[in-house]
Amino acid sequence: MEIREVEGKDIGSIMLYALSTCPWCKKTKALLNSLNVKYSYVDVDLLSKDEEMEIEEELSHWTTQMAFPTLIINNETVIVGFREQDIRRTLESMGA
């Protein structure tokens, strides 16, 4: 599965589930880039059906509905949607 790693300051595990076509996902990537943190992301719309179902299963542990972008931080904090202040506050509290 195509999970991309983006280099930056390692402040913990940051996983972004995104769509390649979605403007809010692009804004989320841009925000993470500007904060200069290390993170991983996957563009779910570019996956095969099987891989997509894997992601669906993975995400179902966190949220009741698949929506993008979804950020999972340190396997405990879930932020659905581009919520700039929430994302900033959470990452800054981790040392971003």
Partner 1 sequence: MRQFTVEEIRQYYEDLKAKTEKSGYRLNPDEEYTLGIVESLLTNEERYGYQLCPCRLTSGSRQADLDIICPCDYRDLDLAEYGRCYCALYVSKDVTLEQLSGSIPERRNKKQQQESEKPQQEAQNAEGGIPVWRCRVCGYLCARPNPPEVCPICGASKDRFERFSLK
User: Smallest distance, Å, CB 48 to partner 1?
Assistant: 12
Q: Using CB under 8 A as the criterion, what x/- string covers residues 15-54 for binding partner 1?
A: ----x-xxxxxx-----------------xx---x--x--
User: Smallest distance, Å, CB 81 to partner 1?
Assistant: 3
User: Smallest distance, Å, CB 10 to partner 1?
Assistant: 26
Q: Cα separations (Å) of 9 from 23, 41, 83?
A: 25, 16, 21
- Torsion angles phi and psi, residue 89, rounded to 5: -60, -45
- Say how many C-beta atoms besides its own lie within 10 A of residue 33's C-beta: 12
